[in-house]
């Protein structure tokens, strides 16, 4: 065992590939998840996120490549909860047990003191429901229970697969704050989602995958800059003439049935000046900066197209 | 984010097998369905056996002297653990063993368990040990309560036997150990099949139907018949020598059947489950 502090708790995925028969779920994927950050793992449904997380946790055997947590293959650990805590699927429980029993046997299997069970139940706000059977829990309560299970061993690395699913707004806020706090404590927090909007206010860094391949590995700000192609929404009393004038000025214009024009290639000032030159009345002029959502859609959309094209 | 400031890693306690045993025990105990199952099973088996003794006792007076002496020599011991009860114990404990693994496999709980304990063989060994222990406890309870209750009812003029009588202790132990054999077979089939209904049908066919359809009049048939746990139990409950059978089974062979079924079942669990993606 290395001296305390000498091992930086990171997740390292190196040329990871997983094939199920002829289907390639994860293809030559490499990335690193750093400590002290909340890292979002983003991709559309079926992008291979869950498969990757399961390989990191040693639940699935990779076809080739490797995945390590703090330099070690999880499959080689005898007990894992103190090294890496995970919530993969809130449904991975038996509905006949109480929340407390579910955590009691997990704690015991990893030699975690029984008192820790009530601590984590309190932390996720389930203490009052501790002795109720999980079968009667809402999805949000199950998510909280799964998070409690991940926290049991107070691990330096935490992995969550779609943890915000089924949470009410209060729950989402709670989970976000929890993740930030865990990261601020120096832990590695790796959170998957298929919704960009969820990650926008949760993650500092993003790893984006599509069709099992890496699309982006950068900070949220860098990622947002990808979608920063600016558009301006314009309404005018004479759309036809303005479209002609703007197109002549080098802009690309899309016209919606209700007359709303979406202009790319000219900024709001240039558009207003063009309208003035042609003595056209503008009654709406809204500059729109690219959103993360847009960047995400553009990136993953092209990956889907590429894959579909490659297949044909 | 502030500077990385990981506090000193707490000393990780050694990975002990006893912790896994305790965890598996919590798992089994915390399922209400299993507690009810064991309670109902105990009452059913003890009740059925006691009823057999009660009927014999009521009819004893109407039998001929020859029937009465035959009953005293063989029948009274048999009433301590009847054939239907042996079948029932085998099937019920098989269902119990199957539930122990299926309740994890069909719900996804096994994924949670393996994520917490990546040492899969160790975890499965603990599960096998706990299920075997619980089933053995159940078997000992129903076999001894049945024996003493029934023989107390038959004591005196009805030919009741004592545990010191020939074959009595062997019948008790054979009946008790039928429970862990059944539980292990159930666990193995559940682990391999991974589907609740299919597992139950397979268990019923394997443990109940097969012994009904094999005949021991040919050598091959006899080998197959003797290799059935139920038939092994029946052999262990027989006192004295077997006559009039071309291929009789032996006491040692019957114990070996128990052992081989249990060992193969445990091996199947250890082979089938760890290599699977979860």
Query: Does the distance separating the beta carbons of B116 and A79 come in below 8 Å?
Result: yes
**Chain B interface mutation, best of A61, A94, A159, A190, highest count of B Cβ atoms under 10 Å:** A94
Closest chain A C-alpha to B146 CA, distance in angstroms: 31
Residues B208-246 have pLDDT tens digits of: 988 888 888 888 889 999 999 999 999 999 887 777 788
Q: How far apart are CA B257 and CA B262, in angstroms?
A: 9
Sheet with A261-264, edge to edge strand ranges: A252-255, A261-264, A231-236, A282-288
How many CB pairs below 8 A link A and B? 127
Kindly state the tokens that stand for A310. Answer: 């490659």
Residue B251, pLDDT score:
92
Strand (E) or helix (H) holding A67: strand A64-69
Q: Report whether B178 contacts B89 (CB < 8 A).
A: yes
Non-local (6+) Cβ contacts of A68 within 8 A are A11, A12, A14, A74
Query: Does the distance separating the beta carbons of A110 and B107 come in below 8 Å?
Result: no
- Region of A147 please: left (phi>0), alpha (psi -120 to 50) or beta: alpha
Query: Does the distance separating the beta carbons of A60 and B5 come in below 8 Å?
Result: no
Residue A97 touches partner B, C-beta closer than 8 Å? yes
Q: What residues of chain B lie within 8 A of the CB of A35, using their CB? A: 4, 6
- Using CB atoms within 10 Å of the CB of residue B151, give its burial: 0 to 12 exposed, 13 to 18 middle, 19+ buried: buried
What's the mean pLDDT in A188-216?
89
State the first-to-last Cα distance of chain B, in angstroms, to the nearest integer.
Answer: 35
Residue from the list A36, A77, A97 with its beta carbon closest to the beta carbon of B31: A97
Confidence label for A229 from pLDDT (cuts 50, 70 and 90): low
Which domains are seen in chain A, by residue range? 11-219 (3.40.50.300), 231-288 (3.30.70.100)
Q: What residues of chain A lie within 8 A of the CB of B276, using their CB? A: none
Q: Are strands A231-236 and A261-264 parallel, antiparallel or unpaired?
A: antiparallel
Residue A110 touches partner B, C-beta closer than 8 Å? yes
Residue A82 touches partner B, C-beta closer than 8 Å? yes
Residue B93, pLDDT score:
97
Q: Tell me the torsion sign for CA atoms B50, B51, B52, B57.
A: positive
Q: Report whether B274 contacts B124 (CB < 8 A).
A: yes
Query: Does the distance separating the beta carbons of B107 and A61 come in below 8 Å?
Result: no
Residues A263-276 have pLDDT tens digits of: 888 888 889 999 99
Residue from the list B8, B104, B116 with its beta carbon closest to the beta carbon of A80: B116
Non-local (6+) Cβ contacts of B26 within 8 A are A101, A104, A105, A108
Residues A164-197 have pLDDT tens digits of: 988 899 999 999 999 999 999 999 999 999 887 7
Q: What residues of chain B lie within 8 A of the CB of A183, using their CB? A: 1
Query: Does the distance separating the beta carbons of B108 and A77 come in below 8 Å?
Result: no
Nearest CA in chain B to A2: B9
Residue A71 touches partner B, C-beta closer than 8 Å? no
Show the 3-state SS of A42-61.
ECCCCCCHHHHHHHHCCCCC
Query: Does the distance separating the beta carbons of A93 and B109 come in below 8 Å?
Result: yes
Q: What residues of chain B lie within 8 A of the CB of A130, using their CB? A: none
Query: Does the distance separating the beta carbons of B277 and A105 come in below 8 Å?
Result: no
Q: How far apart are CA B243 and CA B36, in angstroms?
A: 43
Q: Report whether A298 contacts A227 (CB < 8 A).
A: yes
Per-residue pLDDT of chain B (278 residues; tens, 9 = 90+): 444 545 445 567 888 999 999 999 999 999 988 999 999 999 999 999 999 999 999 999 899 989 988 888 888 888 899 999 999 999 999 999 999 999 999 999 999 999 999 999 999 999 999 999 999 999 999 999 999 999 999 988 788 888 988 889 999 999 999 999 999 999 999 999 999 999 999 999 999 988 888 888 888 889 999 999 999 999 999 887 777 788 888 999 999 999 999 999 999 999 999 999 98
Query: Does the distance separating the beta carbons of A111 and B16 come in below 8 Å?
Result: yes
0.80 surpassed by pTM: yes
Nearest CA in chain A to B14: A111
Residues B177-191 have pLDDT tens digits of: 999 999 999 999 999
Nearest CA in chain B to A93: B109
Kindly state the tokens that stand for B143. Answer: 């076999």
What's the mean pLDDT in A138-150?
95
Strand (E) or helix (H) holding A283: strand A282-288
- Paired strand residues for A263: A232, A253
A contact residues 191-230, partner B, Cβ 8 Å cutoff: 204
**Chain A interface mutation, best of B3, B6, B100, B107, highest count of A Cβ atoms under 10 Å:** B6
Q: Which ipTM score applies to this complex?
A: 0.88
Question: How many CB atoms are closer than 10 A to CB B11?
Answer: 9
Residue from the list B19, B26, B107 with its beta carbon closest to the beta carbon of A104: B26
Closest chain A C-alpha to B180 CA, distance in angstroms: 23
Q: What residues of chain A lie within 8 A of the CB of B20, using their CB? A: 109
Query: Does the distance separating the beta carbons of B109 and A79 come in below 8 Å?
Result: no
Residue from the list A37, A108, A111 with its beta carbon closest to the beta carbon of B26: A108
Residue A91 touches partner B, C-beta closer than 8 Å? yes
Nearest CA in chain A to B122: A78
Three-class DSSP category at A280: coil
| Overall size of chain A counted in residues | 312
State the first-to-last Cα distance of chain A, in angstroms, to the nearest integer.
Answer: 51
**Chain A interface mutation, best of B107, B111, B113, B118, highest count of A Cβ atoms under 10 Å:** B118
């Amino acid at each position: 065992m290395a001296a305390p502090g000498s091992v930086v708790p990171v997740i390292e995925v190196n040329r990871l590939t997983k094939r199920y028969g002829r289907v390639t779920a994860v293809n030559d994927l490499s990335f690193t998840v750093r400590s002290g950050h909340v890292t979002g793992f983003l991709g559309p449904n079926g992008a291979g996120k869950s498969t990757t997380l399961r390989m990191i946790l040693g639940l699935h055997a990779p076809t080739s490549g490797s995945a390590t947590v703090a330099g070690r293959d999880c499959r080689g650990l005898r007990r894992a909860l103190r090294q890496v805590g995970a919530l993969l699927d809130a449904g991975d429980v038996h509905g006949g047990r109480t929340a407390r029993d579910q955590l009691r046997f997990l704690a015991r299997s990893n030699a975690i003191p029984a008192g820790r069970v009530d601590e984590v139940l309190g932390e996720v706000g389930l203490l009052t429901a501790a002795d109720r059977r999980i079968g009667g829990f809402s999805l949000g309560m199950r998510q909280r229970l799964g998070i409690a299970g991940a926290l049991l061993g107070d691990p330096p690395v935490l992995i969550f697969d779609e943890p915000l699913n089924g949470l009410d707004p209060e729950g989402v806020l709670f989970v976000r704050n929890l993740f930030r706090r865990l990261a601020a404590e120096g832990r590695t927090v790796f959170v998957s989602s298929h919704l960009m909007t969820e990650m926008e206010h949760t993650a500092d860094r993003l790893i984006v995958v599509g069709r099992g391949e890496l699309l982006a590995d950068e900070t949220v700000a860098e990622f947002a800059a990808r979608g920063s192609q600016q558009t301006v929404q314009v309404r005018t009393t004479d759309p036809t003439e303005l479209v002609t004038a703007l197109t002549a000025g080098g802009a690309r214009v899309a016209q919606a049935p209700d007359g709303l024009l979406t202009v790319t290639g000219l900024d709001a000032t240039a558009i207003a000046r063009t309208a003035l030159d042609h003595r056209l009345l503008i009654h709406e002029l809204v500059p729109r900066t690219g959103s993360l959502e847009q960047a995400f859609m553009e990136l993953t959309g092209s990956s889907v197209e590429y894959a579909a094209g490659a297949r044909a | 984010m502030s500077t990385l400031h990981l506090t000193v890693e707490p000393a990780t306690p050694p990975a002990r097998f006893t912790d896994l045993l305790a965890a598996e025990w919590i798992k089994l105990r915390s399922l209400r369905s299993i507690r009810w199952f064991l309670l109902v099973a105990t009452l059913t088996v003890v009740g059925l056996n006691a009823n057999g003794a009660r009927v014999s006792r009521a009819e004893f007076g109407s039998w001929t002297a020859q029937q009465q002496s035959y009953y005293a020599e063989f029948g009274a011991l048999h009433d301590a653990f009847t054939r239907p009860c042996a079948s029932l114990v085998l099937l019920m404990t098989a269902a119990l063993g199957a539930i122990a693994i299926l309740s994890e496999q069909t719900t996804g709980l096994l994924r949670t368990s393996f994520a917490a304990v990546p040492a899969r063989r160790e975890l499965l060994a603990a599960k096998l040990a706990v299920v075997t222990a619980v089933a053995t406890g159940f078997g000992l309870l129903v076999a001894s309560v049945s024996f003493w209750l029934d023989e107390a009812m038959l004591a005196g003029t009805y030919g009741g036997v004592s545990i010191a009588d020939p074959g009595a202790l062997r019948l008790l132990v054979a009946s008790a150990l039928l429970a862990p054999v059944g539980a292990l077979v159930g666990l193995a089939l559940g682990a391999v099949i991974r589907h609740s209904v299919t597992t139950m049908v397979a268990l019923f066919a394997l443990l109940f139907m097969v012994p009904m359809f094999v005949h021991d009049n040919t050598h091959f048939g006899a080998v197959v018949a003797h290799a059935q746990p139920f038939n092994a139990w029946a052999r262990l409950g027989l006192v004295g020598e077997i006559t009039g059978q071309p291929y009789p089974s032996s006491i040692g062979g019957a114990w070996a059947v128990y052992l081989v079924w249990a060992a193969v079942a445990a091996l199947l669990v250890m082979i089938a489950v760890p290599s699977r993606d979860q």
